[in-house]
A and B are shown apart, each in its own frame.
Chain A
Amino acid sequence: ELKVEQNPLFLSMQEGKNYTIYCNYSTTSDRLYWYRQDPGKSLESLFVLLSNGAVKQEGRLMASLDTKARLSTLHITAAVHDLSATYFCAVDILSTYGGTSYGKLTFGQGTILTVHP
């Protein structure tokens, strides 16, 4: 059974500081996603990582993937209050039915990020 573990689960940061969220998964994956969720809201797609060594950046967030270590990281640079949210990584394992391949996501527990002034 695929397991996806994030750490830390809770992260309290000061504005302007840097930090990294880690996502470990237990089996070979086809794709890895990072999502953001604000309280009471749905999930917003941040990054899709498709291959070993993939790195993607958007604003103050940068995600990377090491498939050999089964590890993805989400690095936050110079945090601002607007980044406060819950961040989930999700691993996509392709399944096949009748010749059709499709993905289903297995999520980590989420990291609750709070950025303080």
Chain B
Amino acid sequence: DTGVSQNPRHKITKRGQNVTFRCDPISEHNRLYWYRQTLGQGPEFLTYFQNEAQLEKSRLLSDRFSAERPKGSFSTLEIQRTEQGDSAMYLCASSLSSGGAKADTQYFGPGTRLTVL
């Protein structure tokens, strides 16, 4: 099964430390999204990549957050100087642009659960 994969699955860190998460999308997918999900809520959009270009960043993505997608393949999300409020599940999704009015279903990875102590 070549679905979306994310690593690590769980990360516990102390406040102030930096963390980096990785997402490997479905191989032929050119679109990649990051979402954040806190307990009891639906996922919230963070950022979007079309191939290697980061086309949109949510206001939720403070200066401490940075995302990259070198060469349009895997993506990384880094959080610097973590805060307790950063504790959440970070989800990556990918899709294939189909053009026109066709569906562009986003397929989600298993997520990285971050706990900031």
To the question of whether A and B form a pair in one complex, the answer is yes
Other-chain contact of B42, A31, A41, A102, A108 (Cβ < 8 Å) = A108
Decide: B103 and A88 in contact? CB cutoff 8 A. no
For chain B, residues 17 to 39, give those with C-beta under 8 angstroms from any C-beta of chain A: 31, 33, 35
Q: Given A31, A48, A104, which contacts B33 in the complex, CB threshold below 8 Å?
A: A104
Asked whether any CB of chain B lies closer than 8 Å to the CB of A74, the reply is: no
Distance (Å) between the CB of B69 and the closest chain A CB? 14
Q: Does B91 contact A (CB under 8 A)?
A: yes
Pairwise interchain contact A102-B48, C-beta atoms closer than 8 A: yes
Chain B, Cβ-Cβ closest to A88: B42
Q: Mark B79-117, 1 if CB is under 8 A from A, else 0.
A: 000000000000100010100010111111111000000
List the B side residues contacting A110 at CB < 8 Å.
40-42
Majority SS at the chain A contact face: strand
**Is B43 an interface residue, CB under 8 A from the partner?**
yes
User: A84-101 vs B: 1/0 string, CB under 8 Å?
Assistant: 000010101001011010
Known A-B contacts A42-B91, A48-B103, A50-B101; the reply to A100 vs B55 at CB < 8 A is yes
Rounded to whole angstroms, the CA-CA distance of A4 and B43 in the bound complex is: 12
Given contacts A50-B101, A102-B97, A109-B41, contact A42 B109 (CB under 8 A): yes
The number of chain B residues touching the other chain, given as a range, is 20 to 34
In angstroms, how far is the closest chain B Cβ from the Cβ of A64?
Answer: 16
Write out the residue numbers on chain A whose beta carbons fall within 8 Å of the beta carbon of B109: 42
Asked if A43 is at the interface (CB within 8 A of a chain B CB), the reply is yes
Interface residues as binary, B36-71 with A (CB distance below 8 Å gives 1, 0 otherwise): 000011111100101000011000000000000000
How long is the Cα–Cα vector from A104 to B106 in the complex, in angstroms?
9
Cβ-neighbour of B56 out of A41, A104, A108 (below 8 A): A104
